[in-house]
Amino acid sequence: MALQIGDAAPDFNLPDQNGDGVSLAALRGQRVVIYFYPKDDTPGCTKEACNFRDRWSAFEAQGIKVLGISKDGAGSHSKFIDKYELPFTLLTDAEPCPVATAFESYGLKKFMGKEYMGMMRHTFVVDAEGKLELLYTKVKAETMADQVLTDLGLA
């Protein structure tokens, strides 16, 4: 069953780049952007992270929390944050990626004729009540933050 706008966002508690737990339920009362991405410091993922970084002031001004989620560990996340001066939180969803699976963002992928299980580039906006407000399954990494701001009427 596919997630739809208006559905309750799957709750989670994942470790951030410092090893501290971040719970979606604890963020109720504010809008949250959750974006799933395949791997730290790769071309597409870097473009996406930097787009969120470059639009950070618009998200921050509205009190919107941004969370990036991949399979990478805290050490990788910390290096990625430091290298690109990312002002938001990155979370680790380790194999078998239960949170990405709950968000329908982990599954069978194909690359150069080979099939494998991997993280999909999807983005979700969760409203202050914990419901899915926007969802994107076709993501343009370079402009995802711009698209979210436009769709929320903030651009």
Could you read off the pLDDT of 108-144 as tens digits, one per residue?
888 889 998 999 999 999 999 999 999 999 999 999 9
Considering only 1-10, 43-52, 84-93, 117-126, which range has the smallest mean pLDDT? 1-10
**Backbone torsions φ then ψ of 108, nearest 5 degrees:** -70, 130
pLDDT per residue over 56-115, tens digit each? 999 999 999 999 999 999 999 999 999 999 999 999 999 999 999 999 999 988 888 999
Which of these CATH numbers, 3.40.720.10, 3.40.30.10, 3.30.1330.10, 3.20.20.60, describes 13-149?
3.40.30.10
Report the pLDDT value the prediction gives residue 33, as an integer from 0 to 100.
98
Q: Give kind and range of the element (H or E) at residue 45.
A: helix 43-54
Going by C-alpha positions, the residue among 70, 63, 15 that lies closest to residue 45 is 70
Q: Predicted confidence band at 1 (pLDDT cuts at 50, 70, 90)?
A: low
- Residues assigned a catalytic role: 45
* pLDDT for res 110: 86
Q: Give the number of C-alpha atoms closer than 13 A to the C-alpha of residue 135, restricted to the C-beta side.
A: 14
Average pLDDT of span 46-54: 98
The reported pLDDT for the residue numbered 74 is 97
CB atoms inside a 10 Å sphere around CB 31: 20
Would you kindly state where each structural domain of the chain is located, as residue ranges? 13-149
Q: What is the DSSP letter of 141?
A: G
Q: Work out the pLDDT band at 155, boundaries 50, 70, 90.
A: confident
| Residue from 95, 67, 79 nearest 42 by CA | 79
